[in-house]
Amino acid sequence: MIIRPIENDLEKYNINNLTFVMDEGLRSLPLAVLHNGNRDYKKGFIINKYSVGLMPSMTLTDTDYRNISNTKPLATGTSEFSSPDINPLPAVKLELDFIQNLYKVEPLRERNFTVDKLKNKIEREEFSILHIASHAQFEKTKENTLNSSFIQYWNRGLKLTEIPDLKLEQKKVDLLVLSACQTAIGNKEAELGFAGLAYYAGVKSVLASLWEVDDTATFGLMTQFYQNLKSGIIKAEALRLAQLAMLEGKVRTRLSDGKLFAPGLPENEIKIPSEDKTDFSDPRYWSGYTIVGNPW
């Protein structure tokens, strides 16, 4: 209904990236799961043909292109927390290890993953990609969404209201990766949640999730996304290819020994905590992640 009426024009002009400027009530739609009804289920998704993303506003978007394939990220996150009441995220450690090995950087992790230390890192270091891997919670039904929603750091949560305090606009960040739950979902008070506030705070593009994401599936997706991004393709295409790898069953765990298999990963080295799944081809594992802002 959305694509077919304009498909001839898209093919005529060799269009392969679609950016949606959605109205209220549609911004939480997982665009990657749009399907054309093809009987061959896995070949009917929009990502088989186009990369997709969300743009809150054309006029407020920095549409310039800059190749970030050779830039190093500031990687941050934690798999454990100071409070025993917060569930650990075992795959975050593997995620940060992967980024460390791929880019030769030293992540800010575990006990060092505090808001103050992140602010110091942002102020002192040069980077164009900021990666944050942790828990997040968006309280869309509460009266004061901005103060009750947070990204969890080692010792406390970073509230939505505190995102401008990171002063990301001064660093001209090309890409913020929020490897956490519900970071792209929002309401009237906070459009597109954490991703929207980061976008309005001066970040060119944000990769974020629309719902609670699986820890191991997210690790698998991120391994593909960063390998694709490092090859020089645009951000939205890097995400599309990562999602396709999951849809096609190329990212999977093996129950016999609990190891993760994915393109580009060294076999027999990636041991995952006990899992009850073998692959992540179901859309719930990969379609929640979306690019907000500049797709390239």
pLDDT at 7: 95
**Residue 184: predicted pLDDT:** 46
Tell me how far apart the alpha carbons of residues 282 and 248 are, in angstroms, rounded to a whole number: 9
In a domain, 52, yes or no: yes
Predicted confidence at residue 197, as pLDDT, reads 61
Number of domains in the chain: 1
DSSP 48: G
Structural domain of residue 84, as residue ranges? Answer: 1-60+70-296
Question: How confident is the model over 179-218, as pLDDT tens digits?
Answer: 865 554 544 544 455 556 666 667 888 898 888 888 888 9
Q: Is residue 78 part of a domain?
A: yes
Question: Model confidence over 246-266: pLDDT tens digits?
Answer: 999 999 887 667 788 899 988
Q: What pLDDT is recorded for position 61?
A: 80
Query: 75 exposed, middle or buried (CB, 10 Å; 0-12, 13-18, 19+)?
Result: buried
Asked whether residue 277 is assigned to any structural domain, the reply reads: yes
**CATH number for 20:** 3.40.50
Specify if 65 maps to a domain: no
* pLDDT tens by residue, 214-239: 888 899 999 999 999 999 999 999 99
SS3 123: helix
The residue ranges of the chain whose pLDDT is under 50 are 184, 186-187, 189-191
- Residue 154 and residue 139: Cα distance in Å, rounded? 20
Pairwise CA distance, residues 37 & 104, whole Å: 44
